[in-house]
Amino acid sequence: MRRVRFLEAMTASILSNGRHHGAFGMAGGLAGAVGINRVERADGRIEPLDHIGSAEMQPGDVFVIETPGGGGYGTPG
């Protein structure tokens, strides 16, 4: 997870993958977890962002990027 706190007003943009479908597993392994993008506003509001998006950031806002996980290998258990 990456958290970027903004000190000045500006536009933040992201172009990312793995936010709708997790990485596939092999040999019976499960799919990986999907990633999440969001903005945590200084006033406590949380705004989700899609895999491609941008947001106007203000001082104190935090841009959060949770990277997706890899798919598993082999039957779980």
For the chain, give every domain's residue range: 2-66
pLDDT recorded at residue 23 = 94
6: left (phi over 0), alpha (psi -120 to 50) or beta: beta
- What is the number of other CB atoms lying within 10 angstroms of the CB of residue 58? 14
d(CA 2, CA 66): 7
* pLDDT, tens only, 32-58: 999 999 999 999 999 999 999 999 999
pLDDT at 6 over 90: yes
Report residue 14: phi and psi, to 5°: -140, 145
pLDDT value at residue 47 = 98
Note the pLDDT of residue 21: 92
